[in-house]
Amino acid sequence: MPPTLRLPRADGTLASYTLSGRAAITPPTGPITSRIGMAAVHVVADPVAAINPTLDVALDWDATLCYRHYVWSLGLAVAEAMDTSQRGMGFDWPTARELIRRSVAEARTVRGAVLASGAGTDQLAPGASVTLADVEAAYEEQCSFIEGAGGRIILMASRALAACARGPEDYEKVYARILAQVSEPVIIHWLGDMFDPALAGYWGSLDLDRATETLLGIVHEYAARIDGVKISLLDQRREIAMRARFPKGVRMYTGDDFDYPTTIRGDGQRASDALLGIFDVIAPAASAALHALDAGDVARFEAILAPTLTLSRHVFGAPTRFYKTGVVFAAYLNGHQAHFRMVGGLESARSVVHVSEQLVLMDRAGLLRDPDLAAERMRRVLALAGVD
């Protein structure tokens, strides 16, 4: 008999909810061929490390790397050390550097494993004294480390650049310098201010149309050095319009956690690949859906992803930057880690009402691997919040 829980609601009452007992999604095995599906993955904090958790970082390396193996086993690629791993929200560059080194080494042990890692400028503290030269040097340091370790680069947006750039020409200068130096084509990431308020006005303008033109200019000039662009603006129409203007060979990696089925499916002429934080949460469904697309079964692709979209819109609801809490909560419910603790104590960034609703939506989407385990772990979270 499926377990029943008493879950808190927004009006302050408790409501009984019986898990559906729906069988968890089990994707086919083998590689995915029709699209690139990258999961931007989380990190597992060490809950018993003797540190100040709001200031210091300590990871459970075994659990962190084990999760990457799980994602690879589903045929998905891994986007490492991105904002999903809390870059810029408690996860520092020295620890990210070690994570990248270990993950690149692990990827070499897995046949067909695909891994790309985030290069940013987060060793710089934005301030009045930071110059464009400082930003360039910071990017160069991180890119050099990733390529030196044998990894591929995702060129992340820079808070320091957003703070010191005076206009589009400064972005053009910095990106031109970095792209001229990379050994292999990179993925450029445009992260919107709903994910990080410090990135408002990226590409030199608060006007998104003007910002888009600046980025498109860079993409066309350096197309040979760009594998693709990841757009995280939660703006489906802008993504579709922008990918239609990309030069041949440059991919659009959707970062639209509000409407990824549409952008991945495509319009008959162009389609987006995926580099999504929600793929961490829905990895089995993402894999199964992409395998269905490989087989030409668009109806099954859409049927698998439809209930995950409601879940994703909840996990990425405002304030969107706290979506990482939902990502780790899902991993905890599904037994990928033994605790619900996060770098920087970010497990407290969502209310118990919010995570209760997430449990329900995961259940309805067939994303609870073991309903009894999920119920037991949910009871622990509820008890900590004083809910009997």
- Is the pLDDT reported for residue 71 higher than 90? yes
Count other Cβ atoms within 10 Å, centred on residue 303: 12
Q: What type of residue is 144?
A: S
Rounded CA separation 313/317 (Å):
6
Q: Are the beta carbons of 164 and 135 closer than 8 angstroms? A: yes
pLDDT digits over 5-17, tens only?
A: 999 999 999 999 9
* Assigned CATH topology for domain 34-297: TIM Barrel (3.20.20)
Rounded CA separation 4/17 (Å):
5
* Average confidence (pLDDT) over 50-60: 94
Determine the Cα angle at 321 with ends 104 and 243, to 5°: 70
Q: Are the beta carbons of 302 and 265 closer than 8 angstroms? A: yes
Where are the chain's structural domains? 34-297
- Cβ-Cβ contacts under 8 Å for 50 (sequence gap 6 or more): none
Mean pLDDT of all residues belonging to the chain: 97
SS3 341: coil
pLDDT digits over 229-240, tens only?
A: 999 999 999 999
Residue 259 is classified by DSSP as S
Entry pTM: 0.97
According to the model, what pLDDT value does residue 237 have? 96
pLDDT digits over 182-206, tens only?
A: 999 999 999 999 999 999 999 999 9
According to the model, what pLDDT value does residue 49 have? 96
pLDDT digits over 155-171, tens only?
A: 999 999 999 999 999 99
Q: What are phi and psi of 94, to 5 degrees?
A: -55, -40
Find the helix packing angle between 323-333 and 371-384, rounded to 10°: 130
According to the model, what pLDDT value does residue 24 have? 86
- The separation between CA 242 and the C-alpha centre of its own chain, rounded to angstroms, equals 21
* Residues paired with 187 in a beta bridge: 154, 228
- Is the pLDDT reported for residue 29 higher than 90? no
